[in-house]
Amino acid sequence: MSRVKVAVLGATGSVGQRFIQLLDNHPYFEVTHLCASENSAGKTYGDVMKSRWKISSDIPAYAKNIVITTPDPSKTSGAALAFSGLDASIAGEVESAYANAGIHIISNSKNHRMDPKVPLLSAEVNASHLEVLDSQTTKGKIITNSNCTIMGVTITLKPLFDRFGIESVMLFSMQAISGAGYPGVPSMDILGNVVPHIGGEEEKAEIEPLKCLGRVENGKIVHADFPISAHCNRVPVFDGHTVCVSVKFKQKPSREEVLSAWKNFSGEPQSLALPSAPNPAILYREEEDRPQPRLDLNTGNGMTTVVGRLRPDPILDWKYVVLSHNTIRGAAGAALLNAELLYKKNFLG
């Protein structure tokens, strides 16, 4: 198959920059359009980003001379797919316009996540949810990925949910400042501090895993049926969301059974050998003080979910710690993996 022409919406933002980095020389996709606000439109990406590029590697050469347009499907002619890193304030309307124009959308924004006809896709977890795309009436289809905080959490819960059933979950997040976008959290608020509130985050953490772990009935996604209690905190770490998770099971497994479930977990991305698929999907660290963002964040090119500190929970059954890269596995990388799955399964025509 020839490479699919794609657009990146919100190309100047932190997630947009990750999309541009990860799409460099991609075997399935060719970036032909970069879209941002009117302030950037009409200028080349290289000129706009001279002082705004915040990723350690250089701006990919392919992107520098692309002239930025506003995110309008009439201005991205020829693109069959758009990756959206748009702010939620405009994402819903713009993404719907693209779908109506026949352009598929892979969205990192929250606007369409809870639509029962839109997959909240975590490629290893719920590839079967793609069947609800037939229920969308637009020619172009909308696929979303979950909130970055619960991406790694949901991946670790999936094999446990399938094997042992889950009665309840409690989680405590320690979220990196890059999750707030650029320029993020003011330094006087976050340095030497912990902020115990992130607007709307706890609500997402309590509902989105249930949709990801749900089932399809009559063309709609029905949520999994167990409660989640979430405490979400912003901490002075640049990249990497760490989450402490406690789980009550329907059938309590042994420690060896939990570790085996994680070790043997894989999904369609691994069986299809997709370019962005991590192998392993989940890596358990035996050290008593791991995972740590400084040491483990880039495991599997930032796509592997790293777990550690599995131990008995005196109130529930088992507790453990999850680390995932919030702008790669939790955002652009997850969206790219979803797009690779669509490509390989011939959803992109």
Any binding-site annotation on 242?
no
Any binding-site annotation on 69?
no
Any binding-site annotation on 218?
no
Any binding-site annotation on 12?
yes
Any binding-site annotation on 113?
yes
33 is catalytic: no
241 is catalytic: yes
Any binding-site annotation on 305?
no
Any binding-site annotation on 178?
yes
Question: How far, in Å, are 74, 75, 283, 300 from residue 278 at the CA level?
Answer: 36, 34, 10, 5
- Taking residue 265's Cβ as centre, other Cβ atoms within 10 Å add up to 21
Beta bridge partners of 5: 30
Question: How far, in Å, are 116, 215, 316, 320 from residue 223 at the CA level?
Answer: 9, 7, 22, 24
CA-based R_g, the chain, Å:
19
- Taking residue 238's Cβ as centre, other Cβ atoms within 10 Å add up to 11
Catalytic residue, chosen from 104, 112, 241, 325, is: 241
What is the amino acid identity at position 268? E
Strands 220-222 and 282-285: unpaired
Any binding-site annotation on 201?
yes
Residue 139 CB-density burial (10 A; 0-12 exposed, 13-18 middle, 19+ buried): exposed
Any binding-site annotation on 307?
no
SS3 105: strand
Any binding-site annotation on 117?
no
Any binding-site annotation on 245?
no
Any binding-site annotation on 270?
no
Any binding-site annotation on 21?
no
Any binding-site annotation on 50?
no
With contact defined as beta carbons under 8 Å apart, do 337 and 269 qualify?
A: yes
Q: 134, 119, 105: which is closest to 8 by C-alpha?
A: 105
Cis-peptide, bond into residue 293, ω within 30° of zero? no
Q: 113, 117, 162, 344: which is closest to 266 by C-alpha?
A: 162
Any binding-site annotation on 74?
no
Catalytic residue, chosen from 35, 112, 148, 212, is: 148
Annotated binding residues for phosphate, written as ranges, equal: 113, 204
Q: Which residues are annotated as a binding site?
A: 12-15, 39-40, 113, 175, 178-179, 201, 204, 234, 326-327
- Binding site, annotated residues for NADP(+): 12-15, 39-40, 178-179, 326-327
Residues that constitute the known binding site for substrate: 175, 201, 234
The catalytic residues are 148, 241
